[in-house]
Structure 1
Amino acid sequence: MDYAITFACYNQVDYTRQCIESMQRVGTPLERLVVVDNASGDETLAYLRGLPLGKIIHNRDNLGCGVAWNQGALELQSEWTIIMNNDVLVSPQWVQGLIESATRHQLDIVSPAMIEGPLNYDFAAFAQQARQRAGSTMRLGWAHAVCLAVHQRVWKEAGYFRASPKLLGYEDTLFFHEARKAGMQVGTTGASWLHHFGSITQSAMKRERGLKESQELGYRYNHRLLHQPWLERKMDKVRLKRQLRQWREDEIAQLGFSLWGSSTSGALSW
């Protein structure tokens, strides 16, 4: 498989360490990993320099996710580029599950199934069982930016991420919007599982700016960049919410769990 992996980080070295150590445990080759450090002020850079990574890119300023993701994707150009958060844990066969599912379903972008919240359960055991039971389950038409494998044709047809530090987390919305306009096929697969601790970097940036957790980090009028009428945008949200609910209900009926879960209540919930 021809693939590269990249993520951006801004401080939060403990989560970066957990992410990379989880890759090492499952045999993910670190020479395929490009890490872009957005001017971290903690020990992140020193930690990264002690690893046999494919590349470390150090930005002198926090240039935002869009710039960093583009830097990573361009540094190690491959058929597939996996772009992910640094506050996640991976499971065995996570890369193979993504790419094989995408190939089987002729997808251009594919995301893994995921549990979000504190690590208060045995993720390794759950992921193994979930992959066996849900390996053929697919949500066609929806992917997420916590982790996404992007085929090289997407860069050519839809372009890269909007490179503006001011977007502050809206880069993924714009990217998926452009991908849909370009006719790219997307999905989320049960053949690959992650644990996501939950927007750790964005929460830290909100605290730096004196924002509440419930407040948006980005500019409130970022949606204008979509050039989409208000009613059309609202109807898209309604349709997506309805579709997510239907997927969840169907998956629980078939599997006993869904491809998107939460551990925040002390037990896994769907």
Structure 2
Amino acid sequence: MSGLTSIIIPTFNGLHLLRTCVDHIRAYTEVPYEIIVVDNGSRDGTGEYCLREKLLLISLPDNTGFPVACNRGLRMASGDQLLLLNNDVFVSPRWLTLLLEALYSREEIGIVGPVTNYASGIQQVKAGYTDITGYIHEAERWNVTNPGRWQEVNRIVGLCYLFKRTVMNRVGLLDEMFSPGHYEDDDYCYRARLGGFKLLVAGNVLVHHEGSASFRNRFPGGFQDLIERNRKRFVEKWNVDPLQFIEERGDAS
């Protein structure tokens, strides 16, 4: 492993989450990193917070959605590794060190992700904590070097999504057809695998996920409609149903 990891955090009116997200990165990251916040037109003081905290900031006038925001961050990123992180994900001790161990364990590994309390597929695990203090205590025990807990998969959920720059060089950026979000991560995984990369879930890294906070905030009535629309777009693009794709692999929970 080498150099800097660029952590790209898209956000929309989520300052209360972003603060905790950034605080956890700063408290629990022991390897070189930069934080790039892509603000999707927030009106809650996000921009002022980022400037005050000396975070790299891309300020967009309107909410363009997750894939567009990620792509803006990826274009600005200078890291050897690129990490897309939801603003409602809170990391824990040794998280990035251990994810990088998994990422560089084999040359063909292109994308890795952690396990979490809230996700679709096999990345969701049963966690015993009930609050953030309890989460950190649990993660202290959970987050240890253990290649036996790595699992090769065909899909990594985009909530905490670490990949080598060589993946982006070969595969490109996220497909903005999936804006404002959902299935852009499945699409990127599919393209990475077509490009010859393998994907790994690092079962020895636990992150906390609040769960689709921004999407439910923006689409309170049409959340499922949005997911279904983008599933159809994936099918039209690849002639593969990602739901069947998940179930066949045993990734569905």
TM-score higher than 0.5 here?
Answer: yes
**Preserved contact between residue 31 and residue 96 of structure 2 (Cα < 8 Å):** no
Asked which structure has the greater CA Rg, the reply is: 1
Structure 2 unaligned regions, length at least 5: 120-126
Distance apart, 1:183 and its partner CA: 1.6
Q: Per-residue CA shift, 1:64-91, capped at 9, x if unaligned? A: 2112111112212221111110101111
SS in structure 1 opposite 2:197?
coil
Are 1:20 and 2:22 matched, yes or no?
yes
Partner residue, 1:100: 101
Distance apart, 1:219 and its partner CA: 2.5
Distance 1:110 1:218 in 2: 26
**Partner amino acid, structure 2, of 1:219:** R
Partner residue, 2:187: 174
**Preserved contact between residue 102 and residue 200 of structure 2 (Cα < 8 Å):** no
Distance apart, 1:167 and its partner CA: 4.7
Partner residue, 2:139: 127
**Preserved contact between residue 168 and residue 218 of structure 1 (Cα < 8 Å):** no
Are 1:183 and 2:196 matched, yes or no?
yes
Distance 2:68 2:165 in 1: 17
TM-score (norm 1): 0.79
Partner residue, 1:236: 245
Structure 1 unaligned regions, length at least 5: 246-270
Distance 2:182 2:243 in 1: 20
**Partner amino acid, structure 2, of 1:183:** G
Q: In the superposition, relative to structure 1, how do residues 18 and 200 fare at CA in structure 2: closer, same or farther (>3 Å)?
A: same
**Preserved contact between residue 143 and residue 188 of structure 1 (Cα < 8 Å):** yes
Q: Per-residue CA shift, 1:126-161, capped at 9, x if unaligned? A: 001112385641121242211111101111221110
Partner residue, 1:201: 214
Partner residue, 2:150: 138
Distance apart, 1:18 and its partner CA: 1.0
Are 1:227 and 2:229 matched, yes or no?
no
Identity of aligned residues (%): 21
Distance 1:173 1:243 in 2: 12
Q: Per-residue CA shift, 1:166-203, capped at 9, x if unaligned? A: 45323212211211211211111033221001111111
Distance 1:193 1:109 in 2: 16
Partner residue, 1:263: none
Partner residue, 1:150: 163
Q: In the superposition, relative to structure 1, how do residues 139 and 169 fare at CA in structure 2: closer, same or farther (>3 Å)?
A: same
Distance apart, 1:16 and its partner CA: 0.7
**Partner amino acid, structure 2, of 1:228:** N
Provide the aligned length of Structure 1 versus Structure 2. 238
**Partner amino acid, structure 1, of 2:200:** G
Q: Per-residue CA shift, 1:42-68, capped at 9, x if unaligned? A: 222222121122x10001121221121
TM-score (norm 2): 0.83
Partner residue, 1:38: 40
**Partner amino acid, structure 2, of 1:128:** E
**Preserved contact between residue 246 and residue 252 of structure 2 (Cα < 8 Å):** no
SS in structure 2 opposite 1:91?
coil
SS in structure 2 opposite 1:62?
coil
- Runs of 4+ aligned structure 1 residues displaced above 6 Å come to none
